[in-house]
């Protein structure tokens, strides 16, 4: 495991990483340049920008040129389709994602579980399908030195996006596997409301399973598309200090990845967005 | 406690109640007439329609005329405003709601906790304010023979409406009080996603705290206003059979209250809506 860089250590001691979804319309080259210009040493790319940059090898070369550490790859998952063909397709795609993560030089492949399939009302089966998919993917991930990082999504996405809804549930799903093979993502937007959050962060740390710490804020009111209700750190109702303290207290020493889905931020100048990301990181996290 | 009526016993054995929010533009008199015409023997009124009907005494006389049992009163709560004046006002309003519930002849006053106050990022303090408010209200509720029924709301409402987000959390809040004084509401829309749901329903039953069982479905996609993303039972992704089985298995013998917030349903003919409520109840719950 690489040591975290020394820049922006701040109070939490956690270095900053820029998730490319935050500046969605930037290419990987632009994102890398902006990160480097702002002294950010970590980057969390999405697969689509990696592909647009010529694939994982080309992307790795590009990011190495800026001295950037790849902190995670977003994303694999979507395991809950009951149709056997769709399921096989999803597993094949996840195997490719594992290989891409390895080539990019990150251990952490972020997984979004998938929702309750259209036409189904069977949440339990959808959740069982996630366990089964992990079972199938772990050997391939291990071979490539990649960890499957289960991201619990906010329960409002349970029906259509991710049947993994809490950190505790993600840890229960991870439990049958080695901590080196299956981890969990702590994303403030998805978990901040959870009355069981702090003991589960402590547990995640104790089990050595915190793959990534992602941050953005919860805006009020939510916009029409709830997927885009995320704001810059500090613009919403989330108290970051207690969550960051819990994450570092649990022994996490990786990066803080800023991942924001928000149409207004996507429409803004990416350079201005990155400047705000750094400023908010310094004020609320660092 | 009244015995549940014999009509619509269905498979679950739970009788049906119509929450007035489902036919929002109907007066209490219209709602009562429609319920009676459709053989529904329970009604769950909101305070605004009670007030529009001339207050709790007049409403009680009206509902008695149709032989309707009042299954709950919606709603009190909103305890999290940090301003002392606003807080005192909320408590006074809740005392009035307790009295109205008693006069209407229901033991169950549904409480929505309130969100993280504007300008605050302190979820923990907001949650503590809910405990403190229960402490202050229980003696008044007991005097009137009314139970404070804490309704956990879906976590997507944590910021702006209810910091009580899971059934387990509601039960923890209720724990310091007698089961006759503080109960919990199980509403499928709010709790269906919860990986800990079934053990917590079992616990709620064991502790004698299930004040109400409310049902409606989770639509995909959610509409722009997430408050209105509720559908008729059967129109969304919720599997009602396992939840209803858990609720009855936990010893609950009260009513199934159908409460739907949905602009399209509100715009529909209330008689057609009530007919659909009965049909779906028979197919999915009864």
For A125, A278, B192, the CA distances from A165, given in Å and listed in that order, are 15, 29, 11
Of A283, A186, A205, A282, the C-alpha closest to A243 is A186
Would the pLDDT of B26 be above 70? yes
Residue B100 clears pLDDT 60, i.e. is over it: yes
- Minimal C-alpha gap between A81 and chain B (Å): 14
pLDDT for the residue B10: 52
Task: Tell me what the pLDDT averaged over chain B comes to.
Answer: 95
Query: What pLDDT is stored for residue A227 in this prediction?
Result: 80
Q: How many CB atoms lie within 10 A of CB B7?
A: 12
Distance between A161 CA and the closest CA of chain B, angstroms: 11
Which segment of A202-206, A274-278, B2-6, B239-243 scores lowest on mean pLDDT?
B2-6
% of chain B surpassing 90 pLDDT: 92
CATH topology for the B16-285 domain: TIM Barrel (3.20.20)
Task: Tell me which chain A residue has its CA closest to the CA of residue B116.
Answer: A237
* Shortest distance, CA A221 to any CA of chain B (angstroms): 8
What pLDDT sits at residue B9? Answer: 46
pLDDT the model gives residue A225: 83
The partner residue sitting opposite A224, judged by closest CB among B123, B224, B238, is B224
Q: What is the mean pLDDT of residues A173-181?
A: 98
Task: Quote the pTM value.
Answer: 0.95
Interchain proximity A237–B165, CB inside 8 Å: no
Among B158, B172, B218, whose Cβ lies nearest the Cβ of A159? B218
- The stretch A127-147 carries a mean pLDDT of 98
- Which residues in chain B are contacts of A166 at CB distance < 8 A? 195-196
Q: With 60 as the cut, is the pLDDT of residue A4 above it?
A: no
Residues B13-24, mean pLDDT to the nearest whole number:
96
| Residue B1 pLDDT exceeds 80 | no
Percent of chain A scored above 90 by pLDDT?
A: 92
Q: What is the pLDDT at residue B159?
A: 97
Which pLDDT score is estimated for B6?
45
Could you report the per-residue pLDDT of A204-225, keeping only the tens digit for each? 999 999 999 999 999 998 888 8
Q: Which residue has the higher pLDDT, A185 or B223?
A: A185
Residue A99 has pLDDT above 50, yes or no: yes
pLDDT score for A222? 85
Residue A5 has pLDDT above 80, yes or no: no
Best of B115, B164, B195 to disrupt the A interface (most A CBs within 10 Å) is: B195
Q: Where are the domains of chain A?
A: 16-285
Mean pLDDT confidence for B28-56: 98
pLDDT in the model for residue B223: 83
Please spell the DSSP secondary structure of chain A, one letter per residue: -PPPPSSS-TTT-PPEEEEGGGGTTS-HHHHHHHHHHTT--EEE-BHHHHHHTTSHHHHHHHHHHTTPEE--EEEEE-----SHHHHHHHHHHHHHHHHHHHHHT-SEEEEE-B-SPTT---HHHHHHHHHHHHHHHHHHHHHHT-EEEE-PPPGGGTTTTBS--SHHHHHHHHTTS-TTTEEEEEEHHHHTT-TTHHHHHHHHHHTT-EEEEEE-EE-SSPPSSGGG-EE-TTSSS--HHHHHHHHHHTT--S-EEE----HHHHHS-HHHHHHHHHHHIIIII-
């Amino acid at each position: 495991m690489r040591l975290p860089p020394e820049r922006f250590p701040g109070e939490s001691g956690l270095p900053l990483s820029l998730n490319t979804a935050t500046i969605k319309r930037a290419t990987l080259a632009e994102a890398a340049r902006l990160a480097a210009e702002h002294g950010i040493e970590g980057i969390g790319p999405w697969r689509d920008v990696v592909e647009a940059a010529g694939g994982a090898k080309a992307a790795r070369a590009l990011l190495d040129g800026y001295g950037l550490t790849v902190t995670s790859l977003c994303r694999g998952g979507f395991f809950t389709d009951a149709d056997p063909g769709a399921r096989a397709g999803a597993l094949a795609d996840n195997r490719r994602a594992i290989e891409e993560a390895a080539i990019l030089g990150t251990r952490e492949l972020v997984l979004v579980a998938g929702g309750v399939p259209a036409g189904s009302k069977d949440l339990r089966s959808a959740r069982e399908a996630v366990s089964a998919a992990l079972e199938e993917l772990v050997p391939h991930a291990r071979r490539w030195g990649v960890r499957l990082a289960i991201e619990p999504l906010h329960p409002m996405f349970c029906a259509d996006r991710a049947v993994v809804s809490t950190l505790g549930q993600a840890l229960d799903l991870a439990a049958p596997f080695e901590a080196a093979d299956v981890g969990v993502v702590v994303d403030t937007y998805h978990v901040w409301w959870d009355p069981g959050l702090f003991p589960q962060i402590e547990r995640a740390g104790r089990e050595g399973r915190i793959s990534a710490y992602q941050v953005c804020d919860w805006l009020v009111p939510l916009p029409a598309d709830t997927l885009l209700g995320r704001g810059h750190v500090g613009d919403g109702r989330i108290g970051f200090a207690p969550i960051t303290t819990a994450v570092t207290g649990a022994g996490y020493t990786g990066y803080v990845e800023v991942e924001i889905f928000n149409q207004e931020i996507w429409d803004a100048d990416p350079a201005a967005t990155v400047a705000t990301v750094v400023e908010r990181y310094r004020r609320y996290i660092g």
